[in-house]
Each structure stands twice: as structure tokens, then as C-alpha cells.
């Protein structure tokens, strides 16, 4: 199966979310990547469930919600109710990660775990079979438009080897600084899902840019 493209709406025009969603509906993207930031786990605040609910009225594809918040367990049901299909929590924000993953799955969502750039993929080894998606942060979370951290390639390869060895179906997502310069190499290293914010929304033809990332 070819890789998936998940444009990050963090870089979209918040004053025109309906049009941005309609543009994505017409594009070859696979998921919408939705970044929730609480100003505590990361030094920035983005938007929350009321905005996602409004957005979801205009979307036709799965919502991939990336929670950059402390204590995500408190909000799992709320994100289900506003339309999340994949719900990703940060390893660094969860004291009882196994319990959190079970709670996400019990709401019939796919369960994702995001790792900050400094967090080794080996820490997920005991739980890998329980994780639908690992989101490898290739920038420090909190802002769009940052430079891709090259060390990410080693993490993708190491994680892919663990997944193959265990024979599990966990997908690898890359989030931050993805462009057409690194997309192919990331897929070759084992990435299944590419998130792209600025590269898509700041381009002169986002639909074409998404197609280029899809066909890289
Ligand atoms: C960063 C977010 C990313 C961000 C990616 O904290 O998790 O999803 O929107 O943006 P770009 O593609 O601009 O690096
Ligand atoms: Zn993200």
C-alpha cells in the first residue's frame, strides 16, 4: 500500500476553515491532521474541540488528531464526540500509557503515540502490538514551519525493524518539516504517513503539492 498524506490544518487559514477543508476534500490527501496544543505540554495554544467539531462538518476523510496536551485521558470521549478517528497522545504526557491506549480503543478510535525528538523508539517495544500509529516528531512540537531533524531517519529505520520483527500492523507517521525534499527518503526508510503543514498550505497550489507528496 502506498503511503498516506495528512496535511496539518495548523498551517491553514483559520478564518476560512470551511474552504480549507473543501480544498482538502478535493485533493488526494488521505487524512486531516489536527494539532491540539494546550500551552502547557507545548509553549503554544492552537484550538480545541469546538473548532474541530465545526471543521468536521466540512470534512470527508478521517481526522487524525494529535494531542499535545497534558493529562489527555480526561478528554478522550470529548475528542471521539467531535469526530476524531485516530487519537494520538504523547508518550511524555502519559504516566499510564497502556491504560490510555485501552481507553482510546474502547471509544472505537485508532490509538496513536507520539514521541518527541529526544525520546527513543525502543521505549515503545513492550506496547508496540497495542499501538495503531507511532507519530515520530521530526521537529520539537509546538509550532509549524520548523526545520526537519535529520536524526529522524535513524528512528524510522529502528522502529520499522521492531514492527517487522514483531509482525504487527503499527503505522509510522512523520510530523514536522516534511517537504518534497525528504518525503521519498522517509517512505523508503519505513514511513507510512507523512504530515505536512507549511509545505502544503503555504504553497501556491496546495492540491498539486499534496499530489506531489503522494506520488513522491
Ligand atoms: C507541530 C505539529 C505539526 C505541524 C507540522 O507541533 O505537530 O503537525 O503542524 O507543521 P510543518 O509541516 O509546517 O512542520
Ligand atoms: Zn502534529
pLDDT at 202 over 90: yes
- Residue 140's contacts (CB-CB under 8 Å, 6 or more residues apart) are 116, 117, 146, 176
pLDDT at 75 over 80: yes
- CA atoms within 13 A of residue 6's CA, in its CB half-sphere: 26
Provide the grid cell at 67: 494531542
**3-state SS, residue 26:** helix
Q: Which stretches within the chain are classed as H helix?
A: 17-26, 49-56, 76-81, 97-106, 152-166, 183-189, 198-201, 206-214
Q: Nearest-CA neighbor of 54 among 90, 22, 18, 20?
A: 18
pLDDT at 22 over 90: yes
Query: Known catalytic residue: 35?
Result: yes
Ligand 1 atom with least separation from CA of 142: 6
- Residue 68's contacts (CB-CB under 8 Å, 6 or more residues apart) are 35, 36, 37, 38, 41, 42, 90, 93, 114, 141, 142
pLDDT at 1 over 80: no
State the distance from the centre of ligand 1 to the C-alpha of 34, rounded, in angstroms: 9
- Please tell me the number of the ligand nearest to residue 42's CA: 1
User: Where residue 151 falls among pLDDT bands split at 50, 70, 90?
Assistant: very high
Angle at 11 between CA 7 and CA 13, to 5 degrees: 110
State the distance from the centre of ligand 1 to the C-alpha of 171, rounded, in angstroms: 18
User: Where residue 216 falls among pLDDT bands split at 50, 70, 90?
Assistant: very high
CA-nearest residue for atom 1, ligand 1, is 141
Q: Is the CB of 203 under 6 A from ligand 1?
A: no
Domains of the chain, with CATH numbers? 4-214 (3.20.20.70)
**What are residue 6's DSSP bridge partners?**
195
State the distance from the centre of ligand 1 to the C-alpha of 20, rounded, in angstroms: 16
Amino acid at each position: 500500500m502506498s503511503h498516506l498524506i495528512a496535511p496539518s490544518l495548523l498551517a491553514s487559514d483559520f478564518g476560512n476553515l470551511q474552504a480549507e477543508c473543501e480544498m482538502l476534500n478535493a485533493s488526494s490527501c488521505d487524512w486531516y491532521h489536527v494539532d491540539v496544543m494546550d500551552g502547557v505540554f507545548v509553549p503554544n495554544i492552537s484550538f480545541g474541540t469546538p473548532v474541530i467539531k465545526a471543521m468536521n462538518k466540512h470534512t470527508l476523510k478521517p481526522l487524525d488528531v494529535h494531542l499535545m496536551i497534558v493529562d489527555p485521558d480526561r478528554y478522550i470521549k470529548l475528542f471521539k464526540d467531535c469526530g476524531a478517528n485516530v487519537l494520538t497522545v504523547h508518550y511524555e504526557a502519559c504516566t499510564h500509557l497502556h491504560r490510555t491506549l485501552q481507553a482510546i480503543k474502547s471509544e472505537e478510535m485508532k490509538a496513536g503515540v507520539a514521541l518527541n525528538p529526544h525520546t527513543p523508539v525502543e521505549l515503545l517495544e513492550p506496547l508496540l502490538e497495542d499501538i495503531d500509529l507511532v507519530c515520530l516528531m521530526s521537529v520539537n512540537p509546538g509550532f509549524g514551519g520548523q526545520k526537519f531533524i535529520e536524526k529522524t531517519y535513524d528512528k524510522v529505520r529502528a522502529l520499522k525493524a521492531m514492527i517487522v520483527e514483531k509482525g504487527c500492523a503499527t503505522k509510522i507517521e512523520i510530523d514536522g518539516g516534511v517537504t518534497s525534499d525528504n518525503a521519498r527518503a522517509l517512505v523508503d526508510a519505513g514511513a507510512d504517513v507523512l504530515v505536512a503543514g507549511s509545505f502544503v498550505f503555504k504553497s501556491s497550489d496546495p492540491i498539486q503539492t499534496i499530489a506531489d507528496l503522494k506520488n513522491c
